Amino acid sequence: MENKAILYDPTRCTGCRGCQVACKQWNQNDKDKGEKTFNFGSYENPPDLSPQTWMKTTFTEIEKNGKVKWLFNRRSCMHCNDAACIMACPNGTVFRNEFGTVSHNKDTCTGCGYCVEACPFDVPRLEGNMIFGFTKMSKCGFCTQPGFNRIIEGWEPACVKTCPTSALIYGNRDELVNHGRDRVNALIAKGSNHAYLYGDKELNGLHVMYVLDESPETYGLPANPQVSPVTFAWKGVLQPLGWAAGGLAIVGLALNYLIAREAKVKRESQSKKKEEQDGARD
The whole-number pLDDT of residue 248 equals: 47
Q: Please determine, for residue 275, whether its predicted confidence score (pLDDT) is greater than 70.
A: no
Strand partners, 209: 7
Taking the CA atoms of 50, 55, 61 and 64 in sequence, report the sign of the dihedral they define.
Answer: positive
Q: Please determine, for residue 94, whether its predicted confidence score (pLDDT) is greater than 60.
A: yes
pLDDT by residue (tens digit) across 14-62? Answer: 999 999 999 999 999 977 666 777 777 788 888 899 999 999 999 999 9
Using CA atoms, how far apart are residues 137 and 154, in angstroms rounded to an integer?
27
Strands (DSSP E) contained in the chain are: 4-8, 56-64, 67-75, 94-96, 102-104, 125-127, 136-138, 168-172, 196-198, 208-212
pTM for this entry: 0.81
pLDDT by residue (tens digit) across 211-263? Answer: 999 999 999 999 999 998 888 676 655 555 544 445 545 545 555 555 556 55
Q: Any idea which fold 4-82+140-227 has?
A: Alpha-Beta Plaits (3.30.70)
Using CA atoms, how far apart are residues 147 and 152, in angstroms rounded to an integer?
11
Across the chain, what does the average pLDDT equal?
A: 86
- What does the DSSP assignment read for 136-186? EEE---TT-STT--SGGGTPPPHHHHH-SSS-EEEEEHHHHHHHHHHHHHH
Confidence of residue 128 (pLDDT cuts 50, 70, 90): confident
Confidence of residue 118 (pLDDT cuts 50, 70, 90): very high
The whole-number pLDDT of residue 265 equals: 55
